[in-house]
């Protein structure tokens, strides 16, 4: 699914209007109906609903929604904020229609005192249709006063298309007045701003509503940004042929673990075999090898001569794919082992955790990365690889530059992990939940990706599938159990179900 900027979304609207064809007013009505279909499941009929409406097209959406909710028996008051004289043409039409059908439910607001007096203590739900995607400068005056009051007074806020005051395509750090939505119902495509942690207070959750924008109008808009969906990941999966054997699905080498960090290696090894690798050899220190033999007899082992850490590796070239990093530490011997792999191994490689930190300490080694090598840093690890970044948009630019410069795939981990490809495209992940914010989650992701690389997927496919299924397995778990209690071992246990659902 593409992610378009504000102007491109307008172009997709215009294309739909011209080529469906449909009147702009009827497209607004279609969007309003899509919102109402979702809102009636969120709002109790006993709850009075307050709406703040602007005078542009976002306000027009809100006025149409207010009319439709009232027609369905919900007591919905539309507060039109008089921050400018004129409505947009379609907003004016919906204002007139609502005023005609439900005159007592339309209230025009001239100042903040008037709004406070009419809403204080009366509502638990507010629908925000004040400003749309066109916001590009800090909010001031009456609009800022309304937004600040709403944030303080309403426990539940549903924003239409975008929280009012939020910039869709750049950092909103300069804007002090932005709606803190509980949920945002956005039209057709996600907005880039929704996917960054700096906006978590404004968009903790969003849902995408299909309003029937013309597919060709979307296709014609070029974008390097995508939002991966379940259907897209399912289309990448390959069947396991009937007449195959363990050698058909490759042999993985995992270099992971050190004294006191055996768990990282075991997590990663388990995830690798659960993700389709035919064979797996774990190379680690004796303590880790002993622990693995008790927990995962399906894996093979290669014991390092050093009792504490990985100090050497022989003949890495014989393996289909290599994973390096979970729990290995930063010992100089371990660093030399990674350097040897970078110099002599020409196959598929995924580097995580301490492997990324070793590269941060030896930045010239980045020039030795084989094309398509996968790196999986979290934001702090990426900062060490590069530099500090002003905001999440700046970090994304740096990640794209990094992938292009080193011809690698960079998975910048987070709530919507960004998979940055060497061609400049970025795929934001749509699966996962906050239960993954625990130690071991990254080790599991490395193992999943290593299993996919070994099993026969190319590096871009492995990065996309691995990132999605890691989150998807976590989502399946929390459908019946607590987000708070989720462990990476639970995620790995859910991988068979996750693959089964995607294969189906």
Average pLDDT over residues 379-394: 96
Q: How confident is the model at residue 90 (pLDDT cuts 50, 70, 90)?
A: very high
pLDDT at 497: 98
Model confidence pLDDT, tens digit, residues 458-489: 999 999 999 999 999 999 999 999 999 999 99
Burial (Cβ within 10 Å: 0-12, 13-18, ≥19) of residue 304 = buried
Per the structure block, which two tokens stand in for 414? 């987070």
Complete domains list, the chain, with CATH: 6-223 (3.40.50.10260), 232-503 (3.40.1190.20)
pLDDT digits (tens, 9 = 90+) for 348-359: 999 999 999 999
User: Taking 90 as the threshold, does the pLDDT of residue 48 lie above it?
Assistant: no
For residue 16, give Cα distances in angstroms to 3, 26, 218.
17, 11, 9
- Per the prediction, the chain carries an average pLDDT of 97
- The three-class DSSP label of residue 154 is coil
pLDDT for res 268 = 98
Name the residue among 222, 115, 141, 133 with its Cα closest to residue 172.
133
Q: Are 58 and 129 in contact (CB under 8 A)?
A: yes
Q: Are 355 and 324 in contact (CB under 8 A)?
A: yes
Phi, psi of 474 (to 5 degrees): -65, -40
**pTM for this one?**
0.96
- Cα–Cα distance between 388 and 394 in angstroms, integer? 9
CB of 448 within 8 A of CB of 466? yes
**What is the pLDDT, as a whole number, of residue 45?**
79
């Amino acid at each position: 699914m593409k992610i378009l900027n504000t102007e491109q979304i307008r172009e997709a609207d215009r294309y739909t209007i011209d080529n469906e064809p449909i009147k702009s007013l009827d497209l607004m009505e279609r969007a309003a109906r899509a919102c109402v279909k979702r809102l009636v499941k969120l709002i109790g009929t006993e709850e009075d609903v307050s709406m703040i409406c602007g005078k542009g097209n976002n306000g027009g959406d809100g006025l149409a929604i207010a009319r439709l909710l009232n027609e369905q028996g919900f007591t919905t008051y539309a507060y039109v904020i008089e921050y400018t004289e004129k409505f947009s043409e379609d907003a004016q039409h919906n204002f007139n229609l609502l005023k005609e059908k439900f005159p007592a439910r339309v209230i025009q607001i001239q100042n903040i005192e008037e709004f406070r007096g009419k809403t204080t203590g009366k509502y638990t739900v507010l629908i925000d249709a004040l400003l749309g995607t066109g916001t590009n400068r800090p909010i001031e005056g009456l609009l800022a006063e309304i937004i600040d009051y709403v944030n303080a007074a309403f426990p539940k806020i549903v924003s239409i298309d975008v929280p009012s005051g939020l910039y869709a395509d750049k950092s909103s750090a300069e804007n002090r007045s932005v709606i803190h939505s509980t949920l945002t119902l956005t039209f057709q495509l996600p907005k880039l701003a929704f996917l960054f942690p700096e906006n978590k207070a404004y968009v903790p959750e969003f849902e995408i509503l299909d309003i029937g924008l013309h597919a060709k109008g979307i296709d014609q808009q070029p974008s390097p940004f995508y939002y991966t969906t379940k259907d897209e990941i399912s289309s990448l999966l390959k069947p396991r042929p009937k007449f195959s054997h363990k050698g058909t699905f490759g042999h993985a080498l995992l270099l992971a673990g050190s004294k006191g960090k055996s768990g990282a290696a075991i997590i990663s090894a388990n995830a690798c075999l659960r993700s389709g690798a035919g064979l797996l050899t774990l190379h680690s220190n004796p303590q880790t090898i002993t622990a693995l033999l008790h927990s995962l007899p399906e894996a093979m082992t290669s014991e390092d001569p050093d009792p504490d850490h990985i100090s050497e590796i022989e003949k890495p070239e014989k393996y289909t794919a290599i994973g390096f990093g979970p729990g290995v530490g930063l010992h100089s011997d371990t660093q030399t082992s990674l350097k040897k792999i970078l110099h002599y191994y020409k196959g598929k490689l995924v580097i995580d955790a301490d492997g990324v930190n070793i590269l941060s300490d030896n930045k010239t080694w980045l020039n030795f990365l084989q094309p398509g090598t996968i790196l999986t840093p979290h934001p702090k690890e990426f900062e060490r690889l590069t530099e500090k970044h002003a905001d999440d948009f700046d970090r994304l630019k740096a990640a794209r530059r990094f992938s292009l410069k080193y011809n690698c795939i960079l998975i910048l981990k987070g709530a919507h992990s960004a998979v940055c490809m060497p061609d400049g495209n970025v795929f934001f992940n749509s699966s996962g939940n906050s239960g993954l914010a625990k130690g071991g989650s990254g080790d599991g992701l490395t193992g999943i990706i290593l299993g996919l690389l070994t099993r026969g997927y190319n590096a871009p496919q492995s990065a996309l599938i691995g990132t999605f299924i890691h989150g998807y397995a976590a989502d399946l778990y929390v459908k019946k159990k607590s987000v708070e209690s989720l462990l990476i071992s639970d995620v790995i246990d859910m991988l068979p179900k996750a693959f089964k659902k995607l294969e189906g």
